[in-house]
């Protein structure tokens, strides 16, 4: 089981936002799994890049 499991209680009841939040969970879980198996160094840059892109898109739109 993933360490950070999506639960419907996290839903904001807006499909687009819930989908974006689920992507966040997936990214964090991929990083956690890589770290657990000793491959964190290989995936950390990609995971951070994905999180930065997510934050820019979500919080800045096209203004960042």
User: pLDDT digit string (tens) for 19-50?
Assistant: 989 999 999 999 999 999 999 998 999 999 98
pLDDT at position 62 = 63
**Domain annotation covers residue 63:** no
What's the pTM? 0.78
CA dihedral in degrees (8, 13, 17, 22; nearest 10)? 10
**Domain annotation covers residue 3:** no
**Domain annotation covers residue 45:** yes
Residue among 27, 61, 60 at smallest CA distance from 46: 27
Tally the domains of the chain.
1
**Domain annotation covers residue 23:** yes
**Domain annotation covers residue 9:** no
| DSSP secondary structure letters along 1-64 | --SS---GGG--S-HHHHHHHHHHHHHHHHHHHHHHTT-HHHHHHHHHHHHHHHHIIIIITT--
**Domain annotation covers residue 52:** yes
Please give the residue range of the domain that contains residue 47.
18-32+41-57
Give the tens place of pLDDT for each residue, 2-15.
889 999 999 999 99
pLDDT at position 2 = 81
**Contact of 24 with 58, CB cutoff 8 Å:** no
């Amino acid at each position: 089981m993933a360490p950070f499991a999506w639960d419907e209680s996290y839903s904001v009841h807006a499909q687009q936002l819930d989908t974006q939040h689920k992507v966040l969970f997936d990214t964090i879980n991929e990083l956690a799994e890589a770290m657990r198996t000793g491959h964190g160094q290989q995936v950390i840059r990609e995971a951070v890049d994905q999180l930065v892109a997510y934050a820019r898109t979500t919080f800045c739109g096209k203004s960042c």
